[in-house]
């Protein structure tokens, strides 16, 4: 065997194989079909393949070409991408307002391409007023629904999330107030109205201390507790500010009206008192007559008589006039009983009519003419031995009661009146003591509704004593409140005009109206927001924006299939988002026109060279540049993928193990992202795979030829 020839051929085959593998390795990570790099060619033309993210500038801002991409076309027809750099750009001037054409000139060529930006000024503020514009005195400011947008000189607007101030709100006094929104040097305002709540009613929480009167007394409401109830639910004690009026000049049950006046409101409530007629309870002598002995036919002399009159109201007085006397008679000699009459009551006293003064009696010894009893005094008299008339009289004291009997009930108590027990003298049978028995009190029955409550008016329920049927308890039943049906739209809201809704009480047909906010262009939930870009597009009423990370809900295999296989060596998945909208019925829908999604997200700079939003429906990558949030504009809903473009040393074929599938899934923000579980293949394009197969076949053929050639030389 000629080993010298074999070694030469083997060296040539090895050199060919190494060259082929080097070419394949160089292009293994290029996502485009492999074409030899034109080292001696320059681009013949360029065009903008992706406009910069920022196309709107304020006066004085610097040019930002983030996201701008070029497509370079060489003489061979090969097309390669490149990133636009600021130093290649000219024609940008942010000192004046207007559209600017920026020219990109590729280095060391005359190839140019252009894109357009616009310089604007912030001309005014546009506000969507809060839902609440009417306040009661003392209310706290509610800015729910307030949206502030800056209007640029080209007519476009941008919603302000912060950076503006709101001043001028005050609910300390009534009236219309101007609330001012300020952003930089721009201001806008809206009106609020502060009103005092209407007085709905007053309620007697506690009746006065005095509810029983005698005719002639003055009405006294000391101790009354009265509350004023306002339409905003506030309850205030107005006891010291009420007046009361009612007739207590005649006997009976009387209604007393409590009156409270505030602003233009006059509210009343009632309670009941009992008025009793003043009557004489008893009379007794305060002093007796000075003259008790009269001569025949001498006139009656009441001098010295005074009586004490006690009334049922507890008061008493001494009376000397308007007293009527009967029983006085001086026509005959002897003792006379004179009866005093006053107010239907009587008192008796005795006088004596004697013979003329010229008559001189000769008296006998005192003789007991009347024996004393337990309560009544006895009497002893002397008699004239000449005329046999009684000359003198003297009283014998009463003996007093003897032993008392056991108490005997003489009056049964009722629910409201006291009963009585008495003890009797065992000698005379007279009453010795009288004791009260406390009233039994009412036995309250069940509460019965006397007046049913309505939606807005009180009802009344009462209970009665099961023994005497008197009224025991009276309770006020609070109004039932309205029972509203569903809200019905009566005026559809638009982006410029609020709508209206109504609902009616199913009981009393009262109708309540509320304002429906204007339609929104921006919906937000958590770290996500969606904005409709068309000036004529708004989200339907009660639309809901649904946005969530779904990375943790997917398996490794499902995540691996989210981006094309050819892209997996270039990009790493950081997170998967799902966006959608539901209408008032909960049905999912797609709004018309462009939608700009914004995600608050801390991108892990330093681990990747760039970040992209991948549209799974259209296969489009949109750059994400902000470190704290990124936005992208599409015309659809569904899933979108945040990917990081790997740094060069992470995509070098020599540093990757094709069989290593140990990377774990991670969806945390600020991490190195998600490694799909499909093993990476160096040079994943179809062309590269074909080249590898061809190289293997050529190697086999050359080896066979070498072997044959060497074998023939030896034999």
Cβ atoms of 179 and 169 closer than 8 Å = yes
Q: Whole-angstrom distance between the N-terminal and C-terminal Cα of the chain?
A: 7
Residue 601 near residue 540 (C-beta atoms within 8 A): no
Run of H or E residues at 183: strand 175-183
Phi and psi at residue 430, in whole multiples of 5°?
A: -75, 160
Q: Which residues contact 624 (CB under 8 A, 6 or more apart)?
A: 603, 611, 612, 613, 630, 632, 642
pLDDT tens figures, 474-484: 999 999 899 98
Same domain, 632 and 703: no
Residues 608 and 645 in one domain: yes
In a domain, 14, yes or no: yes
Query: Measuring CA to CA, how many Å separate 546 from each of 284, 520, 573?
Result: 97, 15, 22
Residue 699: inside a domain: yes
* Distance in angstroms (rounded) separating the CA atoms of residues 715 and 695: 30
Q: Which of 682, 677, 675, 674 is nearest to 658 (CA)?
A: 682
Enter the pTM of the model.
Answer: 0.35
Say whether pLDDT at 346 is over 70: yes
- Across the chain, mean pLDDT equals 85
pLDDT band at 677 (very low <50, low <70, confident <90, very high): very low
Q: pLDDT per residue over 80-89, tens digit each?
A: 999 999 999 9
CATH, residue 50: 2.60.40.3630
- Section 498-504 average pLDDT: 93
Name the pLDDT band for 400 (thresholds 50, 70, 90).
confident
| Beta-sheet pairing, 134-136 with 186-195 | parallel
Backbone angles phi, psi at 206, to 5 degrees: -150, 130
Q: Does 215 map to a domain?
A: yes
pLDDT of residue 688: 56
Task: Name which of 211-215, 424-428, 602-606 the model is least confident about.
Answer: 602-606
The per-residue pLDDT for 692 is: 73
590 lies in the same domain as 534: yes
Give the phi and the psi of residue 566 in degrees, each rounded to 5.
-70, -15
Q: Number of structural domains, the chain? A: 6
Q: Is the pLDDT of residue 663 over 70?
A: no
pLDDT tens for 197-243 read 999 999 999 999 999 999 989 999 999 999 999 988 899 999 999 99
User: Where is pLDDT greater, at 313 or 24?
Assistant: 313
User: Given pLDDT bands bounded at 50, 70 and 90, which one contains residue 384?
Assistant: confident
- Residues 618 and 699 reside in one and the same domain: no
Of the two residues 12 and 114, the one the predictor is more confident about is 114
Among 30-44, 138-152, 353-367, name the most confident range.
138-152
Question: Could you tell me which of 356, 352, 302, 348 has the C-alpha nearest to residue 329?
Answer: 352
User: Which domain-ending residue is among 120, 142, 174?
Assistant: 120
Note whether residue 104 is domain-resident. Answer: yes
State yes or no: pLDDT of 412 exceeds 70: yes
Tell me the C-alpha distance between 505 and 16, whole Å: 92
| Distance, CA of 443 to CA of 469 (rounded, Å) | 9
**Domain finish residue from 276, 306, 337:** 276
Is residue 116 very low, low, confident or very high in pLDDT (cuts 50, 70, 90)?
Answer: very high
Q: How confident is the model at residue 57 (pLDDT cuts 50, 70, 90)?
A: very high
Residues near 145 by beta carbon (within 8 Å), at least 6 away in sequence: 128, 129, 130, 131, 132, 517
Domain containing 609 equals: 522-657+664-676
Q: Lowest mean pLDDT: which of 357-371, 553-567, 647-661?
A: 647-661
Is residue 697 located within the same domain as residue 635?
A: no
Based on the domain organization, do 616 and 549 belong to the same domain? yes
- Token pair listed for 338: 């004179």
Instruction: Mark which of 227, 253, 276 sits at the end of a domain.
Output: 276
Beta bridge partners of 75: none
**Count of CB atoms situated within 10 Å of the CB of 419:** 16
Instruction: Classify the C-alpha dihedral 401-406-412-415 as positive or negative.
Output: positive
Residues 6 or more apart from 195 whose CB is under 8 A from it? 134, 135, 136, 137, 174
Cβ(152)–Cβ(123) below 8 Å: yes
DSSP-based three-state secondary structure for 254: strand
The contacts of residue 493 (CB under 8 Å, 6+ apart) are 499, 516, 517, 518, 519, 541
- Domain membership of residue 191 (yes or no) is no
pLDDT in tens, 522-561: 999 999 999 999 888 899 988 999 999 998 888 888 887 8
Q: What is the mean pLDDT of residues 632-641?
A: 91
């Amino acid at each position: 065997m000629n080993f010298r020839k074999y070694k030469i051929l083997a060296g040539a085959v090895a050199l060919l194989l190494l060259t082929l593998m080097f070419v394949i390795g160089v292009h293994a990570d290029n996502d485009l079909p492999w074409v030899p790099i034109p080292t001696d060619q320059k681009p013949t033309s360029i065009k903008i393949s992706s406009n910069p993210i920022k196309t709107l500038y304020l006066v004085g801002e610097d040019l930002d070409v983030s996201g701008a991409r070029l497509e370079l076309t060489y003489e061979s027809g090969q097309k390669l991408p490149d990133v636009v750099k600021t130093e290649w750009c000219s024609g940008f001037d942010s000192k004046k307002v207007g559209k600017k054409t920026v020219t990109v000139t590729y280095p060391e060529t005359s190839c140019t391409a252009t894109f357009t930006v616009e310089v604007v000024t912030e001309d005014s503020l546009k506000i969507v007023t809060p839902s609440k514009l009417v306040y009661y005195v003392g209310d706290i400011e509610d800015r729910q629904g307030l949206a502030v947008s800056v209007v640029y000189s080209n007519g476009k607007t941008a919603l302000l999330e912060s950076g503006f101030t709101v001043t001028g709100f005050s609910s300390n006094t009534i009236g219309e107030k101007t609330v001012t929104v300020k952003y930089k040097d721009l201001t806008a305002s809206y009106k609020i109205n502060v009103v005092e709540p209407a007085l709905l009613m007053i309620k007697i929480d506690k009746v006065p201390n005095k509810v029983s009167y005698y005719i002639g007394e003055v009405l006294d409401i000391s101790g009354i507790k009265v509350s004023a109830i306002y339409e905003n639910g506030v309850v205030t004690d107005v006891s010291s500010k009420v007046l009361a009026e009612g007739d207590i000049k005649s006997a009976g049950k009387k209604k007393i009206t409590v009156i409270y006046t505030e602003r233009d409101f006059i509210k009343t409530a009632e309670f009941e008192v009992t008025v009793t007629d003043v009557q004489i309870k008893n009379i007794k002598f305060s002093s007796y007559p000075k003259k008790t002995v009269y001569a025949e036919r001498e006139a009656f002399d009441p001098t010295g008589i005074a009586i004490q009159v006690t009334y049922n109201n507890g008061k008493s007085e001494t009376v000397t006039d308007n007293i009527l006397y009967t029983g006085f008679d001086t026509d005959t000699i002897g003792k006379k009983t004179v009866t005093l009459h006053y107010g239907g009551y009587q008192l008796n006293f005795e006088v004596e009519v004697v013979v003329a003064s010229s008559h001189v009696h000769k008296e006998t010894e005192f003789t007991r003419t009347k024996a004393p009893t337990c309560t009544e005094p006895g009497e002893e008299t002397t008699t004239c031995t000449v005329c046999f008339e009684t000359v003198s009289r003297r009283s014998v004291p009463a003996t007093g009661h003897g032993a008392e009997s056991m108490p005997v009930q003489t009056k049964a108590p009722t629910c409201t009146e006291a009963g009585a027990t008495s003890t009797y003298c065992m000698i005379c049978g007279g009453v010795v003591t009288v004791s009260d028995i406390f009233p039994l009190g009412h036995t309250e029955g069940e509460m019965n509704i006397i007046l049913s409550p309505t939606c807005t008016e009180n009802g009344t329920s009462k209970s009665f004593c099961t023994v005497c049927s008197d009224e025991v308890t009276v309770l006020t039943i609070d109004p039932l409140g309205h029972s509203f049906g569903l809200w019905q739209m009566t005026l559809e809201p638009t982006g410029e005009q609020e709508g209206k809704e109504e609902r009616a009480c199913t009981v009393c047909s009262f109708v309540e109206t509320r304002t429906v906010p204007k339609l929104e262009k921006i919906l937000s939930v958590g770290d996500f927001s969606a904005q409709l870009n068309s000036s004529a597009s708004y989200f339907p009423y009660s639309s809901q924006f649904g946005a969530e990370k779904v990375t943790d809900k997917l398996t490794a295999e499902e995540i691996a299939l989210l981006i094309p296989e050819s892209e997996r060596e270039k990009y790493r998945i950081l997170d998967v988002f799902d966006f959608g909208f539901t209408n008032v019925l909960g049905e999912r829908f797609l709004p018309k026109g462009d939608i700009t999604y914004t995600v608050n997200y801390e991108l892990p700079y330093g681990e990747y060279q760039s970040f992209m939003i991948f549209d799974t429906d259209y296969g489009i990558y949109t750059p994400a540049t902000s470190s704290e949030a990124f936005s992208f504009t599409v015309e659809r809903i569904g899933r979108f993928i945040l990917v990081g473009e790997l740094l060069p040393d992470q995509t070098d074929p020599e540093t990757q193990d094709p069989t290593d599938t140990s990377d774990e899934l991670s969806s945390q923000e600020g991490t190195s992202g998600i490694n799909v579980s499909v093993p990476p293949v160096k040079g994943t394009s179809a062309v590269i795979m074909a080249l590898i197969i061809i190289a293997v076949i050529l190697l086999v053929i050359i080896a066979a030829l070498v072997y044959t050639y060497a074998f023939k030389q030896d034999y």
